[in-house]
Chains A and B, each alone.
Chain A
Amino acid sequence: MAIGMDDDDFVADENEAIQPPALNSGKARIEGPRARSEPYALDILASLLMGGATEGGERLGQRLKRWQATTASRGSQVYSESPDESQGERLRYAVIGLLSHAPDLAQGALSTAVDAADSAYSRCSRWLSPVTQSRPMQPILRRYNSLAAHGATIVERWIDTGRAEEQRSRALAREAAFDGEDELIEHVVGKLAQEPALRDLVAQQGVGMASELMGALRVLTARADKRWERRVRALFRRH
């Protein structure tokens, strides 16, 4: 199996309860709602990518903060204006300045938009309350409330699944990345990259993965062909 994991790591029943992986253990057991007795490489790859993105993003953020702290600890520096500054340079500074102010601007714009939406919603609700509170509207209102509650349940379920999936993916990414120090990883990866046999193996795996992706895409689209045709033909038969 790819990424150095055993099949046993993924053995889980479809109906098994969602159990977040033991994050602090040396080798986390990967379980979740999508775990099945025979996992597909694509599923694992998707999980690994997702986990790699979240885990990697977090680690990058931590590293950036460390760099920023190191720079700040070296003391403040006075930035002077050069006398022979060209128009092009001034424009470049303006763009960089705009980019550095962008998060504040975006946050301000977002909070204004949220306030405006809130205000519009409450105003519309007030105007429409004679209609929405009227007796003929009650069945519709009840139906709407029931649908909204159903929607909220679905969203809650997605959140639960997403939470479990993210923890599972992160554990997988940590497992794949040896969960070691960056320097150690770089050292090991550097050593491994010099091995011709390993390079061949990686190339073979790459080709195999591409073929598998292509095959999966073909099967998925061929199935969708039939499904869409059936739907469209049913639609025409109905009218």
Chain B
Amino acid sequence: MAINDIQAAAVPHPSARDLAQVQEAGFVSRLTAFVLDIVIVTMGSIVFAALQFVILNFFGFSARDLRLDAPTRPTLAVLELIIVALSGLAVLLFVPAYFVVAWVLVGATPGKRILGLKVIRTGGQRLSWWRAIVRLVGYWISAVALFLGFLWVLVDTRRQGWHDKLADTIVVYTWQAPESEHAQHGPRTE
């Protein structure tokens, strides 16, 4: 199958009528997408932390480098502490925001987009902010039970994890996934 065919078969937001044709994505695709997302989030956090370090150093907001008797040392130390705390908070918020914003606005995180997956309501609608937050909370619930909530995708008839069931969502392929294991080998561009 050509990559153009895959892109042509993309389903931006399937309506309820089209839902019979969409195919729910399986465990391995979703896990791969999740791993990609984790890599992206981690790299983003590292870049953010490095930027913060560089900016702080550029403006001399490093109390450790000052002499002990310097009069501005306590002020700088407090300022640095506040900036570091705010940056930490931003990084902490960045992770949930990454998932929630992507689900609501685009329907998929970058990792899911690479794998050609999309998160939609079981009725085919786009996720609301509230549902996206519920789904994210569901991630933790799925993880706490020894990741059984994620593994549930393997046995569920609609390939839903616990977080999907909580938020009433499904993850679908946005391309025509091969029906059988003996389907054509990977896409060609020729």
A residues contacting B by CB (< 8 A) are: 40-42, 208, 211-212, 214-229, 232-233, 236
Contact = CB atoms under 8 A, between A and B. Distances in A.
Interface residues of B, number: 27
A228 B159 CA distance: 12
Looking at chain A's contact residues, the main secondary structure is helix
Contacts of A215: 1, 3, 6, 186-187
B65 interface: no
B48 interface: no
Interface in B131-190: 154-155, 159, 173, 175, 177-178, 180-181, 183, 185-189
Interface of B: 1, 3, 6, 25-29, 32, 114-116, 154-155, 159, 173, 175, 177-178, 180-181, 183, 185-189
A201 to B, nearest CB: 14
Contact of B187 (A212, A226, A228): A212
Given A221-B28, A222-B26, A225-B29, A214 B177 contact: no
Given A208-B189, A215-B187, A236 B28 contact: no
Contacts of B27: 225, 228-229
Given A217-B115, A228-B154, A233-B155, A222 B187 contact: no
Given A218-B6, A226-B181, A236-B155, A211 B189 contact: yes
A6 to B, nearest CB: 15
Most buried by B among A41, A214, A219, A224: A219
A229 B173 CA distance: 16
Contacts of A225: 25-29, 177
For A215, A216, A226, the residue with the greatest tally of chain B CB atoms inside 10 Å of its CB is A215
B177 A222 contact: yes
A42 B185 CA distance: 12
Given A40-B186, A40-B188, A223-B181, A214 B26 contact: no
Contacts of B185: 40, 219
B29 to A, nearest CB: 4
11 contacts: A40-B185, A208-B189, A212-B3, A212-B188, A216-B186, A216-B187, A221-B29, A222-B173, A223-B181, A228-B27, A229-B27
A224 B186 CA distance: 13
A232 B189 contact: no
A40 B27 CA distance: 27
A220 B114 CA distance: 13
Contacts of A220: 186
Contacts of A236: 155
Contacts of A227: 181
A212 B115 CA distance: 12
B29 A218 contact: yes
A107 B32 CA distance: 38
Given A211-B3, A220-B186, A225-B29, 10 more contacts: A40-B185, A41-B189, A214-B3, A215-B186, A219-B178, A219-B186, A221-B29, A221-B115, A222-B177, A224-B28
A122 to B, nearest CB: 42
A215 B4 CA distance: 10
Given A215-B6, A216-B186, A229 B26 contact: yes
